[in-house]
Structure 1
Amino acid sequence: MASIFSKIVKGEIPSHKIAENDDFLAFLDAFPITAGHTLVIPKREIDYIFDLEEKAYSDLFLFARSIVPALQKVVPCLRIGLTVIGLEVPHTHIHLLPLNSMADADFSKKIKTSQDELAALAAKIRAEIQ
């Protein structure tokens, strides 16, 4: 059964894309814990990050890293944090989190944001990447 992320890759579920290439996709989390909370995934469905082939693993992190400068320009923060948990969706993903304090990394708290706000934020971040 395809994960929700595989359905996003195929365009079956809408998302607020930030960046994309042949192998990877970055998009705003639909239920963010901070403004700009971004998910970075391989397009190929692999459940566990440590099951990725070495090159895919390295390339995933390099792709995520390429998004950070744009995220920092658009979302005021002290730094961009990165975490891999991998329990909610059976598809490898990296969380990029704009952080101003450790409290910003609390996954038990979601912020309220509208689809229009996510779309506008994604557009601003994309503009900084291109």
Structure 2
Amino acid sequence: MSELEKDCLFCKIIRGEIPSYTVFENDDVKAFLDISQVTKGHTLLIPKKHLENIFDYSQEDAAKYLQYIPTVAKAIRESDPAIKGMNLEVNNGEIAGQAVMHSHIHLIPRYSEDDDMVVPHVDNSSQYSEKNYQAVANAIKSNLE
């Protein structure tokens, strides 16, 4: 476990220095209940390699760690017949709401439309023309490896 950070909260959980309610673990990843439990079953999936956020992932890292999302998501869904859907949330950087600087994916079960969970999204489409959309798309395309 040489690829873990000494003072990282999630690295400490991986090392067993801090207890967690583990739901899945193998050599690559660990999934455990989020202490906040936004909804019952709210789980975090983390790589067992310290990667700060998605911007640190190589293609190999993505293949190695993200392949377990469906495994954990399906297990959560099957754990409670009341689960109707699930939000996957990944916050990258403090500005995006990342609180622990170790890559993690929130798997948040949804039980009903009125479960008090807020998923904030803003529709800014009125500010974009076809030309604006194409310029943004081109800027992104030009940076693909």
Q: Shorter-chain-normalised TM-score: which range?
A: 0.7 to 0.9
For CA contacts below 8 A with separation 6 or more, give which structure has more relative contact order: 1
Residues of 2 paired with 1:45 and 1:64: CA distance?
Answer: 18
TM-score by length of 2: 0.67
Compute the TM-score of the two structures, normalised by the length of structure 1. Answer: 0.74
Q: CA deviation at 1:61?
A: 2.2
**Structure 1 SS opposite 2:117:** helix
- Mapped contact 1:28–1:37 kept (Cα < 8 A): yes
Asked whether the 8 Å contact 1:33–1:106 carries over to 2, the reply is: no
Q: Distance in 2 between matches of 1:67 and 1:48?
A: 19
- Is 1:54 aligned to residue 59 of structure 2? yes
The sequence identity of aligned pairs, in percent, is 35
**1:96 aligned residue (102, 107, 129):** 107
Q: CA deviation digits over 1:1-58, x for unaligned, max 9? A: 4211000000000000010111110000011111000000001111121211112213
- Select the structure that is richer in helix: 1
One-letter code of the match for 1:84? V
| Paired residue type of 1:48 | N
Aligned to 1:74: 79
Aligned counterpart in structure 1 of residue 68 of structure 2, from 56, 63, 67: 63
- Match of residue 45, structure 1, among 39, 44, 50: 50
Q: What CA deviation, in whole Å up to 9, does each residue of 1:83-121 have, x standing for no partner?
A: 1014100000000010133743569xxxxxxxxxxxxxx
Aligned-residue Cα RMSD (Å) equals 1.9
Unaligned runs of 5+ residues in structure 2 are 1-5, 93-97, 121-145
Instruction: Quote the residue 2:136 is aligned against.
Output: none
Gaps of 5+ in 1: 108-130
Query: How far apart in 1 are the matches of 2:119 and 2:100?
Result: 18
Residue 16 of structure 1 is matched in structure 2 by 21
The separation in 2 between residues aligned to 1:15 and 1:94, in whole angstroms, is 16
Runs of 4+ in 1 over 4 A off after TM superposition: none
